[in-house]
Structure 1
Amino acid sequence: LLWSSGDESRGAEQALFQTVAPFQTQVSEIERSRRMRGKRQNLA
């Protein structure tokens, strides 16, 4: 029982990470594009 419950919680963590990871990468891409736009405006 102890082992199975541990595996279940680990599986839940992985499932959560897999659903959140794409969203986090999307947000970081948006932040990066914003920074690039800001740099271009400063240069212009």
Structure 2
Amino acid sequence: MTTTRFEIKKFNAITNFNLLQVQIMAILVQTGLKKVVIGKKA
């Protein structure tokens, strides 16, 4: 089993929350996990 790690700055008052959401969703799409998170069947 392989582990993939991504460097994402943690959310704080300075970081734009929408940008954080976009970055996380992009990683989920790349790893094929978006459907799992949003609850759609594969």
- Identify which of structures 1 and 2 has the higher relative contact order when contacts are C-alpha pairs closer than 8 Å and 6+ apart: 2
Instruction: Tell me the TM-score normalized by structure 2.
Output: 0.41
TM-score by length of 1: 0.39
Larger % of helix: which?
A: 1
Higher Rg of the two aligned structures? 1
